[in-house]
Structure 1
Amino acid sequence: MEPTAEPGPDTTGGPPKDRRTPRWLRSLLALLITAGVVLPLSAAARPRIPAPPPAGLPAVTATTLEAAYAANRANAARAARMAEAHGDRHRAAADRALAAPAGQLLAFDGRGTGLATEVFGDLAHADRVAVLVPGSDTTLDTYGRFRATATALHRQLSRRAPESTRVAVVAWLGYDTPGTVSTAVLTTGRADEAAPRLGEFLRLLRGLTGRDTPVSLLCHSYGSVVCARSAAQGPPVADIALLGSPGTGADSAAALRTSARIWAARGGTDWVAQVPHVEADLFGTTVGFGTDPVSPAFGARVFAAGDGGHSDYFSPGSICLANLARIVLGETSEVTRA
């Protein structure tokens, strides 16, 4: 979710006049080769953490929501004990945090890098719902950072919402996120796998909250690629906000084929601004995500995100967090434009 390695400089001018490979493409190839060799070896060196399979639950409804929370908390507690016995104290602590008695864990799978869906607020009675979709390197081991963004947004919404408006935030770690430095983070492959899962979750959400409850997707970094791939597949949402996006794989907001309002923002010191906004065919695989979502050519509603970096979009007190709350609450005329 919060990459730290910066890609090479953006040298995406017009087509080269000679037969030499452009510098950005050479850098990209070097990165692909390095990631393809080093990362599989390092992953293989780390023993897999044992965990139980997900809790077997019937279809979740508004009336069975609390039972689902309890079952998933119990599963997370069991995963924590297994991780502790395995000697992985870091994963055990992450699992225990999700198993806390007050937690509202809608889904949990402690196997591998892990999956979790956590709710903040009264989901069954919410008038407005925000779903956060994370980017690369978001796993159960790094889940605390993701939870912090959801908590910050829920607090901001609770402060700003009219007294009669109930709000809920869902932290959706429902897919296997790519590593920041990996071949997967440069293509739409993981997003293509994740998009149907996000669509399925949004359909579940409609059943829990009601067809007319506005839902906003707030999509960070590689998560914006997931949201873009899901836009035309899942049920309609009110808004899709692309935060620190490397691109979506689409040429324009219109190409997403959704009735949702499309928003985009980038912090003033976000390294993703240096990512080349191109698509290239390498060995039969499309690498890169095309048009910059904050460019006029893309056609999104670009809003102010302040001077923050790639991990600062949900920082308490920031202009970006304030704007995100306005988007979720439907106060679109109050959003500060960039």
Structure 2
Amino acid sequence: MRRFRVRRAVAAAVALAAVLGAGGWAADSRTAVTGPPPGSAAWTSDTSLGLPLPDPATTTPADVAAFFAGLSPDRQDALAVRHPLVVGNLDGAPIGLRYRANALALAAERTRELARAADPALPPQDHEAARTRAERYRTLLDGGRRILAFDPRGRGQVAEVYGDLAAARHTAVIVPGSDIDLLDFDRTTDPYGTPAGMARALYAEEQHGDEQHAGEQHADVQHRATDRQTAVIAWAGYTTPVGLGLDAATEDLARAGATRLTRLLDGLAVSTHPQAPATVFCHSYGSVVCGLARPTPAQASGVVVLGSPGMGVDSAADLDPGVPLWATARNGSDWIGDVPNVRLLGLGHGADPTAPGFGARPLPATGSHGHTGYFAPGTASLTAYAAVAAGRA
């Protein structure tokens, strides 16, 4: 029997390689962006306040929050002006200060890219890349967008907030899968396959669902109608795989992403004041990130996976029992169903979270289509997500 199971696992691994090979097995490997934000060395050597600044590499978000709580608004702002890339990415720092710092960082990076685009010493392809980046930064600066994180290194990372994060009673975090970076996190094509598109849809659905719920709870109508319930974070905060290559079949990028996700959740726990910690929505390869992060009850009220190839664990029992896990039923046109659920020789992401024996709570997917259709308006999955995010599930 054991020999049969081994043969079956090997066959599944071969099948996984075949599936990924058809989608671009030879794709280049990506190097994860890790460690503290750009400018950290200048930050830690800054003595202008007459006291040491918290080391972004070692200081916990709780200690970061305590540090900023001891500063006047003027001193906080002075740090944001001098070190925008650090303050803008410092989990635990005040939310509004991070928005301001990231706006300053985006403006500075846009100026730098415009200079590169006009530099005669650079080749034409570098000019084009610089113009693309400069335009990307311009769009992120438009319309008072709330940018919670911004890192220009590598393919770039960004996080955007929908709603009032500082005042919301509930918080949701969207963790995306492959092919998401600074340029693609809010692309207009295939919008519900991007964290920004998912976040916008969830935020709109949650407000609609909250109004309906308020109508049913007559004694509470005025309170709920005036209190915006949920803020949603579109988090493109880790280096994602590109295509269906080796990176998508292994956990290396997910492990790096899990570290960043854990720090984000710790930061939200001390810098916001929701009724409960965030609900984390994990799409595709993002569900591997969430599985390896293993959020605790102090970090998350629940985890929802959708279009998942596996979570890097054998069952829900391997995760924290204090954090409810929901798995969205896979629609028939989602290609992720062709990926074998195996972990062998460093390939694959393990058991199917939608399988009855895995132990996740089921969510419906009626009306959804394809791998990126679960957040589309009018689907049963989006309605269910709004209920989970708002604590109505």
TM-score, normalisation: structure 2: 0.70
* CA distance in 1: counterparts of 2:276 and 2:335, whole angstroms: 35
Counterpart selection for 1:152 from 196, 201, 205: 201
* Other-structure match for 2:312: 249
* CA distance in 2: counterparts of 1:83 and 1:316, whole angstroms: 37
2:342 is equivalent to residue 275 of structure 1: no
2:171 is equivalent to residue 133 of structure 1: no
* CA distance in 1: counterparts of 2:158 and 2:151, whole angstroms: 6
Percent same amino acid at aligned positions?
35
- The offset of 1:139, in angstroms, is 0.7
Counterpart selection for 1:98 from 131, 140, 143: 140
* CA distance in 2: counterparts of 1:82 and 1:242, whole angstroms: 39
2:130 is equivalent to residue 70 of structure 1: no
User: Which string of whole-angstrom CA distances, capped at 9 and with x for unpartnered residues, describes residues 20-41 of structure 1?
Assistant: x73751661795799675536x
How many residues align? The count is 303
- The offset of 1:66, in angstroms, is 2.2
Farther-moved stretch of structure 1 (272-281 vs 52-61): 52-61
* Other-structure match for 1:295: 355
User: Which string of whole-angstrom CA distances, capped at 9 and with x for unpartnered residues, describes residues 175-222 of structure 1?
Assistant: 111112221111111111111211111111011223743410000000
* CA distance in 2: counterparts of 1:221 and 1:60, whole angstroms: 25
- The offset of 1:80, in angstroms, is 3.4
Letter in 2 for 1:294: T
Structure 1 residues 216-255: aligned runs within 5 Å: 216-232=279-295, 235-255=298-318
CA contact (8 A) 1:231 1:258 kept: no
- The offset of 1:302, in angstroms, is 1.2
- The offset of 1:234, in angstroms, is 8.3
CA contact (8 A) 1:236 1:259 kept: no
2:182 is equivalent to residue 118 of structure 1: no
**Structure 2 residue runs without a partner (length 5+):** 31-37, 40-83, 118-126, 187-193, 211-223
Counterpart selection for 2:128 from 82, 87, 102: 87
2:77 is equivalent to residue 28 of structure 1: no
User: Which string of whole-angstrom CA distances, capped at 9 and with x for unpartnered residues, describes residues 148-190 of structure 1?
Assistant: 2211111111222242452100111111111122211111111
Change (3 A) 1:302 1:14: same
Q: Which secondary structure does the structure 2 equivalent of 1:241 belong to? A: strand
* Other-structure match for 1:10: none
Q: Which secondary structure does the structure 1 equivalent of 2:150 belong to? A: strand
Counterpart selection for 2:234 from 171, 185, 196: 171
Give the number of the structure whose alpha-carbon radius of gyration is greater: 2
Q: Give the superposed CA RMSD.
A: 2.9
Change (3 A) 1:258 1:201: farther
* Other-structure match for 2:76: none
* Other-structure match for 2:378: 317
* Other-structure match for 2:271: 208
* CA distance in 1: counterparts of 2:12 and 2:150, whole angstroms: 43
Change (3 A) 1:23 1:191: closer
CA contact (8 A) 2:23 2:244 kept: no
Q: Which secondary structure does the structure 2 equivalent of 1:297 belong to? A: helix
* Other-structure match for 1:48: none
Letter in 2 for 1:148: G
Change (3 A) 1:237 1:176: same
User: Which string of whole-angstrom CA distances, capped at 9 and with x for unpartnered residues, describes residues 56-106 of structure 1?
Assistant: 3285667x4323212212322333344452322443333222222411111
CA contact (8 A) 2:334 2:370 kept: yes
Letter in 2 for 1:75: A
Q: Which secondary structure does the structure 1 equivalent of 2:245 belong to? A: coil
User: Which string of whole-angstrom CA distances, capped at 9 and with x for unpartnered residues, describes residues 214-260 of structure 1?
Assistant: 41000000000111111256843111000100001111111112411
Letter in 1 for 2:309: P
Q: Which secondary structure does the structure 1 equivalent of 2:28 belong to? A: helix
TM-score, normalisation: structure 1: 0.80
Change (3 A) 1:115 1:132: same
* CA distance in 1: counterparts of 2:283 and 2:344, whole angstroms: 23
Change (3 A) 1:37 1:148: closer
**Structure 1 residue runs without a partner (length 5+):** 1-12, 44-51, 333-338
Change (3 A) 1:318 1:81: farther
Letter in 1 for 2:332: G
CA contact (8 A) 1:236 1:258 kept: no
More helix by share: 2
